[in-house]
Amino acid sequence: MQLRHALSAVLPAVAGVIALITTAAAASASDTRSSAQAACRFEYTVTNFAGGFGALLTVTNIGPDPANGWWVEFDLAPGAVIQSTYGGKFLSYSGHIQVNAPDWLPNLAPGRYANIGFNGRNANITGVAVSNVTLNDVPCTT
Q: What is the pLDDT of residues 112-136, one digit of tens each?
A: 999 999 999 998 777 899 999 999 9
Same domain, 50 and 96: yes
* Cα-to-chain-centroid distance, residue 142: 17
| 14 and 69 assigned to the same domain | no
Note whether 22 and 45 are same-domain residues.
Answer: no
Q: Are residues 70 and 115 located together in one domain of the fold? A: yes
d(CA 117, CA 46): 10
pLDDT in tens, 14-45: 444 334 333 344 443 433 333 455 699 999 99
Whole-prediction pTM: 0.73
Element (H, E) at 116: strand 113-122
> Domain holding 136: CATH number?
2.60.40.290
| pLDDT given at position 37 | 59
Nearest Cα neighbor of 51 from 121, 129, 126 is 121
Q: Is the pLDDT of residue 110 over 70?
A: yes
Alpha-carbon distance of 53 to 82, in angstroms, equals 9
Domain that holds residue 109: 40-141
- Residue 133 exposed, middle or buried by CB count within 10 Å (0-12, 13-18, 19+): buried
Residue pair 96/75 in contact by the 8 Å Cβ criterion = yes
Gap between the Cα atoms of 140 and 133, Å rounded: 6
The mean pLDDT of 2-21, rounded to a whole number, is 45
Span 55-66, average pLDDT: 96
